[in-house]
Every structure is written in C-alpha cells, then in structure tokens.
C-alpha cells in the first residue's frame, strides 16, 4: 500500500464496514417462495462475455512461496472482477474483497 495504515485508521475502517453491513444485509429465506427465486439471464453461447476494465484490481499471477509466517494469499477465480463482478446475492466483488481484507486486518489486531 502506498500509505501506512495505523491502528486508529484500521479500527475506523472496520467500524464503517460493520455499520454498512448492518444496513445492507437482507435476510435470506429458504422457504419455497417463487417470487424471490433468482432467474438466470439468457446467455448467448456464441460470444464470450467481454472483459471490463477495472482500476481497483490487478492480476499478479500465481502465488509464490513467501518468507513471512503471517502472509496471506487471497485467491480469486480467473473471471473475478473483469467478467464476473457481483456474487449471486448482488454484492460487488470489490466490496467482498474490501471486507475480506478488513477482516484480515482485524484478526491481526486481535491476535497481536
């Protein structure tokens, strides 16, 4: 990262993520409710899905062995962010990755 993250900034980020999560989450029902069933959009199998240009995500290649015991690799699928940009519930991959990173930072704070 270009800037150094101190503990106060990290705690602020985590508080913001938790606050946003409380307002964004919607309950999931597993009841047989046809109104809430997702329907896949028609797929044109002749043409591949075009890649989107994203400025927040960059492929860095295959993970290599590290030297630090506290290194973490976040693996994503090849189509992550550029072809597929949301999960099945509609949450953007950018937001998912942001929350995963915030959770990892939180674990570092709790365990140190």
Cβ proximity of 29 and 62 under 8 Å: no
Quick: pLDDT tens for 4-23. Answer: 667 787 788 888 877 776 66
pTM of the complete model: 0.52
Whether the predicted pLDDT of 44 surpasses 70: no
Phi, psi (degrees; rounded to nearest 5) at 102? -60, -40
């Amino acid at each position: 990262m270009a800037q150094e993250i101190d503990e106060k900034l990290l705690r602020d980020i985590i508080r913001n993520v938790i606050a946003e999560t409380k307002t964004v989450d919607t309950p999931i029902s597993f009841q047989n409710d046809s109104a809430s069933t997702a329907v896949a959009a028609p797929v044109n199998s002749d043409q591949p899905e075009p890649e989107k240009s994203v400025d927040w995500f960059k492929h860095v290649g295959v993970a290599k062995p590290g030297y630090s015991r506290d290194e973490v690799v976040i693996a994503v699928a090849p189509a992550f962010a550029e072809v597929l940009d949301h999960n099945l519930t509609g949450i953007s991959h950018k937001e998912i990755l942001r929350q995963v990173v915030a959770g990892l930072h939180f674990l570092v704070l709790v365990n140190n």
